[in-house]
């Protein structure tokens, strides 16, 4: 009992810290690429509007990046502090992948971030643009390695087990494991979508308040184009990712669908459940409301195909379907709302009311956090769906956990909760203050020279933010 409580606390602590952490890098990945686009457009068109937007978003990027750095530092150590037997068992694979992430991404980002944020007047436009591109590429390299590592834990291959630990035998097979390409595409696109929703909501907020300026219109228009083009692409990638999961982790898909087996007669196909309450003890899904055959169509791309039900797996090998069923529906539901937002924006654009339709603007504003919530829901689905394994089929989570006393874990978890809510709460509030302020006309031209003794000489992320807020929150 005490042991399972300690395991639960360790899992909650990891879930809590990584849930906070994933939010910041997701926005970092999206904004870094958005900044590349903005600066590229500025250099190409020489329209000051793009330069203004670049400066506006680079400040928010800087705050967000800083929070990603400190929350990420914790993650690099938690594998050992809380999952020591996992580290010992699989460190031969996950360690080098993490080391490559540090060497090829973290240092690269830290090195060029300074020039990007503070070097506007210190280096030529070409070198500055280069730095922005390098930072954006760095964020994608980072995504590559960490998802290779995570995907290997989902679909391990390219190794042997010798003396009770994993020995890599084929690094290409390790990195390009079966679920990696799908997860990489799904997550990168999710980061872009989440950022576009954040940008779109920021613009909508200003437009709703009557701040109808060309820069804000451009922001809104770009974000809505992302919804039109990228949201459907994400649906396709998600579908492929799901089929890949069905092939390699059928128990996860069964849990996502609340499918126990035996609910329908042969030949009837699988329904797609819209609602239900999977009950792990009773081995059934209560109150199931579904669309007949749609499950078969989506999962097997046929009219009467079926998939293995949860009952086909021993009870000790089943993930918690109650959680996974709902986290999956939250993600998909939000994805559908993104499609709807894109469609509505096309309609209003065609009618010439893109910037004036208050309904659309309110919808876009409400969808601001939707991308991040969908990312969290998606990660809960894939990670809780992997349970009870930490490395799928090889090591159980209960075998991976460090032998800490319950009291020790309760203490550390409590500290993390208090500190994270305080620190990141303040940081998010600060970001929102910046968003509220909006882009400043002609900001790029009045940039002071950087360098020691000047106000913008700093290389650290938040120093790009020049504003000091007085008591009413205005600059």
Partner 1 sequence: MGIDLPLLWALIIGFGVMMYVLMDGFDLGIGILYPFMPDKHHRDVAMNTVAPVWDGNETWLVLGGAGLLAAFPLVYSVVLTALYIPLMLMLLGLIFRGIAFEFRFKARERERHIWDKAFIGGSFTATFFQGVVLGAYISGLPVRDGAYTGGPLDWFAPFPLFTGAALVCAYALLGSTWLIMKTEGALQARMVTLARPLAWALLAAIVTVSLWTPLRDPAIAERWFRFPNLLWFSPVPLLVAASMVALLRALRRGRQVAPFLLTLFLMGLGYAGLAISGWPHILPPDIDLWQAAAPPQSLGFALVGALFIIPVILAYTAFAYYVFRGKVRPGDSGYHG
Nearer to partner 1, 57 or 112 (CB): 112
Q: Tell me which residues in 290-309 interact with partner 1 (CB under 8 A).
A: none
Exactly one of 60, 69, 372, 435 binds partner 1 (CB under 8 A); which one? 69
Q: How many CB atoms lie within 10 A of CB 336?
A: 12
Nearer to partner 1, 168 or 333 (CB): 168
388 alpha-carbon distance from chain centroid: 23
Exactly one of 266, 287, 352, 471 binds partner 1 (CB under 8 A); which one? 471
In the complex, the smallest distance separating the C-beta of residue 11 from partner 1, rounded to whole angstroms, is 16
Helix, strand, or coil here: 347?
A: helix
Nearer to partner 1, 111 or 261 (CB): 111
What element of type H or E holds 167? strand 165-168
Least Cα distance to 183 among 156, 154, 159 occurs for 154
Interaction between residue 12 and partner 1 (CB under 8 A) = no
Q: Residue 440 region, left (φ>0) first, then alpha (ψ -120 to 50), else beta? A: beta
The structure tokens listed for 144 are: 């590559």
**306 close to 268: Cβ distance less than 8 angstroms:** no
Interaction between residue 459 and partner 1 (CB under 8 A) = yes
Helix, strand, or coil here: 401?
A: coil
Exactly one of 104, 320, 322, 406 binds partner 1 (CB under 8 A); which one? 104
Q: Residue 289 region, left (φ>0) first, then alpha (ψ -120 to 50), else beta? A: beta
How many whole angstroms separate alpha carbon 325 and alpha carbon 273?
9
Exactly one of 5, 70, 233, 240 binds partner 1 (CB under 8 A); which one? 70
Interaction between residue 214 and partner 1 (CB under 8 A) = no
Using CA atoms, how far residue 458 sits from 28, 124, 348, in Å, is 19, 18, 43
Interaction between residue 173 and partner 1 (CB under 8 A) = no
Interaction between residue 156 and partner 1 (CB under 8 A) = no
Interaction between residue 100 and partner 1 (CB under 8 A) = yes
Nearer to partner 1, 156 or 427 (CB): 427
In the complex, the smallest distance separating the C-beta of residue 112 from partner 1, rounded to whole angstroms, is 8
The structure tokens listed for 427 are: 């940081």
The structure tokens listed for 279 are: 């009950």
Least Cα distance to 384 among 4, 93, 18 occurs for 18
Helix, strand, or coil here: 18?
A: helix
Interaction between residue 126 and partner 1 (CB under 8 A) = no
In the complex, the smallest distance separating the C-beta of residue 147 from partner 1, rounded to whole angstroms, is 16
Q: Tell me which residues in 324-343 interact with partner 1 (CB under 8 A).
A: none
Nearer to partner 1, 81 or 284 (CB): 81
Nearer to partner 1, 270 or 431 (CB): 431
How many whole angstroms separate alpha carbon 222 and alpha carbon 226?
6
Q: Tell me which residues in 420-449 interact with partner 1 (CB under 8 A).
A: 423, 426-427, 430, 448
Interaction between residue 466 and partner 1 (CB under 8 A) = yes
Exactly one of 8, 95, 336, 393 binds partner 1 (CB under 8 A); which one? 95
Q: Which stretch binds partner 1 (CB under 8 A): 41-49, 69-77, 213-221, 327-335?
A: 69-77
Total residues at the site for partner 1 (CB under 8 A)? 79
Interaction between residue 350 and partner 1 (CB under 8 A) = no
Q: Exposed/middle/buried for 107, CB within 10 Å: 0-12, 13-18, 19+?
A: exposed
Interaction between residue 462 and partner 1 (CB under 8 A) = yes
Exactly one of 88, 239, 312, 399 binds partner 1 (CB under 8 A); which one? 88
Least Cα distance to 65 among 155, 173, 146, 142 occurs for 142
Q: Tell me which residues in 246-275 interact with partner 1 (CB under 8 A).
A: none
């Amino acid at each position: 009992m005490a042991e399972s409580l300690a395991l639960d606390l360790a899992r909650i602590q990891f879930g809590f810290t990584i849930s906070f952490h994933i939010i910041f890098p997701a926005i970092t990945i999206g904004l870094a690429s958005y900044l590349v686009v903005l600066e590229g457009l500025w250099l190409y068109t020489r329209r000051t509007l793009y330069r203004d937007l670049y400066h506006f978003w680079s400040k928010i990027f800087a705050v967000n990046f800083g929070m990603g750095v400190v929350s990420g530092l914790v993650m690099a150590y938690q594998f050992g502090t809380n999952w020591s037997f996992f580290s010992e068992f699989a460190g031969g694979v996950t360690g080098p992948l993490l080391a490559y992430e540090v060497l090829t991404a973290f240092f690269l980002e830290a090195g060029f971030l300074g020039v990007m944020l503070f070097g506007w007047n210190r280096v030529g436009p070409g070198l500055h643009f280069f730095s922005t591109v390098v930072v954006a590429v760095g964020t994608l390299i980072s995504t590559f390695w960490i998802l290779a590592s995570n995907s290997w834990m989902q679909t391990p291959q390219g190794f042997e087990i010798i003396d009770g630990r994993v020995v890599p035998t084929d690094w290409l097979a390790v990195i390009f494991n079966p679920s990696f390409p799908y997860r990489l595409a799904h997550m990168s696109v999710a980061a872009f979508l989440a950022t576009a929703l954040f940008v779109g909501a920021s613009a909508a907020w200003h437009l709703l308040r009557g701040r109808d300026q060309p820069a804000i219109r451009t922001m809104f228009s770009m974000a809505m184009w992302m919804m039109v083009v990228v949201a459907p692409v994400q649906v396709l990638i998600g579908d492929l990712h799901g089929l890949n999961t069905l092939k390699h982790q059928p128990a996860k898909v069964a849990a996502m669908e609340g499918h126990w087996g035996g609910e329908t007669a042969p030949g009837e196909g699988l329904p797609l459940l819209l609602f239900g309450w999977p009950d792990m003890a009773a081995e059934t899904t209560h109150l199931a409301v579904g669309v007949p055959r749609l499950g078969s169509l989506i999962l097997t791309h046929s009219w009467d195909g079926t998939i293995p039900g949860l009952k086909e797996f021993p009870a000790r090998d089943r993930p918690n379907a109650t959680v996974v069923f709902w986290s999956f529906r939250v993600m998909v539901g939000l994805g559908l709302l993104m499609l709807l937002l894109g469609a509505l924006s096309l309609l209003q654009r065609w009618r010439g009311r893109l910037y004036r339709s208050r309904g659309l603007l309110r919808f876009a504003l409400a969808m601001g956090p939707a991308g991040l919530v969908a990312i969290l829901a998606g990660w809960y689905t894939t990670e809780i769906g992997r349970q009870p394994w930490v490395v799928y089929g090889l090591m159980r989570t209960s075998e991976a956990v460090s032998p800490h006393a319950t009291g020790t874990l309760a203490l550390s978890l409590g500290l993390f909760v208090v500190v994270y809510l305080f620190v990141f709460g303040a940081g998010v509030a600060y970001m929102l203050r910046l968003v509220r302020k909006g882009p400043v006309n002609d900001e790029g031209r009045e940039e002071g020279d950087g360098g020691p003794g000047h106000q913008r000489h700093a290389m650290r992320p938040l120093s790009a933010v020049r504003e000091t807020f007085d008591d009413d929150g205005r600059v």
